[in-house]
């Protein structure tokens, strides 16, 4: 998103505020770091005086808030960090924006606080149709035999929040705070809830980059439970395009769901990833299927996420740009071409963390 905004809007000054914890990596934005409209600030969003200072010093008139702890497995191990960053960090940003904007003559006029959230706040859907059904919609993102839904129910914007994991509970809480700042103080807020993202630069604790790297090194692929859980996958640049559109044209106080109508069972997506990696590495197709290793299920593992993004498609004309097959191909290619990026990450402390985590499961 930062890359998109810096390149597309030379007239904006973009301040990228990041604490650079384990998943943060300045190498991800190397190609834009010398642009005159790009500014990096290493800071913790929980530091309210510093957030206020940045707001005042740099005359910030819009906030797009993506700073969060986001990995469910980590939240099961360490929920405190999730409450701290996701809830208290959001509150600190809200309060800083409010204090600064209220001090200006025009107050909230022309300002925007846009909070990025997750579909996981809605809880989990069932999988009443294990073989999938033809859904009543068409998008560019899905095609052919994979153009399936695993039930008739979808997450819509008016659904009750029912978070199950400490991660989604923390995100749900932060969403409530954002809406409360609109309802109580009239802050111009917007919330969006997006489905699973995939694509370049994703930290390899998430399913797709983790598995691409493991397949490359012929390491086991830990599939939780039976691999029957369903996720709705969106290419990261399509999410960034949606954020751009909503930041500029979305209606204040509204919520928009973002997703690709692109549901996959974990085990099916894993097979696609294996076949793609094998093909691009010149291995016989399917050679690495035996790396699939069924392991103890994640505690409280949500069965199905399925976003209904028709409001966004209808009201703002957004639609995903990529066929899923294209997106996966691009993604696998990127990780294989950027092995050094991956090696830098997987050679450090992260490896130890990852091994400890699995020892303690």
119 is catalytic: yes
CA distance 220 to 203: 18
3-state secondary structure of 122: helix
The interface with ligand TYD within residues 180-219 (CB under 6 A) comprises: 196, 206-207, 210
| Active-site residue (options: 15, 38, 114, 167) | 167
Closest CA to 302 of 125, 154, 136: 125
* Nearest distance from C-beta of residue 295 to ligand TYD, angstroms: 7
126 as an active site residue: the answer is: no
Active-site option among 73, 120, 238, 278: 120
- Of 18, 69, 119, 302, the active-site residue reads 119
Single out the residue of 69, 258, 255 nearest to residue 169, CA to CA. 69
Nearest to 72 by CA among 231, 219, 200: 231
Residue 77's Cβ-count burial label (10 Å; 0-12, 13-18, 19+) is: middle
End-to-end CA distance of the chain: 34
To ligand TYD, the closest distance from the beta carbon of 59 in angstroms equals 36
The residues in 277-306 that bind ligand TYD, with binding defined as CB under 6 A, are 298
Q: What count of other Cβ atoms lies within 10 Å of the Cβ of residue 148?
A: 20
CB of 294 to ligand TYD, least distance (A): 9
Contact segment (CB under 6 A) with ligand TYD among 132-140, 223-231, 317-325, 335-343 equals 223-231
**Counting contacts by CB under 6 A, is residue 48 touching ligand TYD?**
no
Instruction: Return the residue of 86, 139, 173, 229 that touches ligand TYD, per CB under 6 A.
Output: 229
Q: Is 222 an interacting residue with respect to ligand TYD (CB under 6 A)?
A: yes
Q: Does 62 bind ligand TYD (CB under 6 A)?
A: no
Listed in sequence order, the residues at least 6 apart from 206 whose beta carbon sits closer than 8 Å to its beta carbon are: 71, 198
Among 72, 97, 148, 322, interactor with ligand TYD by CB under 6 A: 72
Binding mask 15-34 for ligand TYD (x = CB under 6 A): --------------------
x/- site string to ligand TYD, residues 141 to 180, per CB under 6 A?
----------------------------------------
Concatenating the DSSP letter of every residue in 57-71 gives: HHT--EEEE------
Supply the minimum distance, in Å, between the C-beta of residue 18 and ligand TYD.
20
- Look at residues 265, 294, 280, 262 and name the one whose alpha carbon lies nearest to residue 215: 280
| Nearest to ligand TYD of 44, 175 (CB atom) | 175
Q: How far is CA 104 from CA 18, 82, 108, 234, 359, in A?
A: 26, 33, 8, 39, 53
**133 phi and psi, to 5 degrees?**
-130, 160
Residue 266 in contact with ligand TYD, rule: CB under 6 A = yes
Residues annotated as catalytic are: 119-120, 167
The contact set with ligand TYD (CB under 6 A) reads 72, 196, 206-207, 210, 222-224, 229, 231, 266, 298
């Amino acid at each position: 998103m930062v890359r998109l905004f810096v390149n597309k809007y030379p007239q904006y000054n973009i301040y990228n505020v990041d604490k650079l914890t384990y998943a943060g990596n300045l190498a991800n934005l190397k190609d834009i770091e010398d642009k005159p409209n790009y500014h990096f600030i290493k800071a913790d969003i929980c530091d309210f005086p510093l957030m206020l200072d940045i707001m005042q010093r740099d005359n910030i008139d819009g906030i797009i808030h993506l700073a969060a702890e986001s990995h469910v497995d980590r939240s099961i191990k360490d929920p405190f960090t999730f409450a701290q960053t996701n809830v208290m960090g959001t509150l600190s940003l809200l309060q800083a924006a409010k204090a600064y904007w209220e001090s200006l003559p025009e107050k909230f006029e022309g300002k925007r606080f846009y909070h990025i959230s997750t579909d996981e706040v809605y809880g989990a859907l069932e999988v009443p149709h294990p073989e999938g059904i033809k859904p009543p919609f068409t998008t560019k993102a899905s095609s052919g035999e994979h153009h399936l839904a695993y039930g008739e129910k979808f997450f819509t914007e008016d659904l009750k929040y029912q978070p199950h994991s400490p991660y989604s509970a923390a995100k749900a809480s932060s969403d409530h705070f954002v809406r409360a700042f609109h309802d109580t103080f009239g802050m111009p807020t917007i919330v969006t809830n997006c489905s699973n993202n995939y694509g370049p630069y994703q930290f390899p604790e998430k399913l797709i980059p983790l598995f691409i790297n493991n397949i490359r090194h012929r390491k086991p692929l830990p599939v939780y439970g039976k691999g029957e859980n369903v996720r709705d996958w969106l290419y990261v640049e399509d999410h960034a395009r949606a954020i751009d559109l909503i930041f500029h044209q979305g209606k204040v106080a509204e919520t928009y769901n973002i997703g690709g109508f692109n549901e996959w069972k974990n085990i099916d997506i894993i097979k696609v990833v294996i076949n793609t990696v094998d093909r691009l590495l010149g291995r016989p197709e399917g050679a690495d299927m035996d790396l699939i290793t069924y392991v103890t299920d994640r505690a409280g593992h949500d069965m199905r996420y399925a976003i209904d993004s028709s409001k966004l498609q209808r009201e703002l004309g957004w639609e995903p740009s990529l066929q899923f097959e294209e997106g996966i191909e691009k993604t696998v290619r990127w990780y294989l071409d950027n092995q050094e990026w991956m090696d830098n990450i997987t050679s450090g402390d992260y490896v130890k963390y990852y091994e400890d985590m699995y020892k303690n499961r």
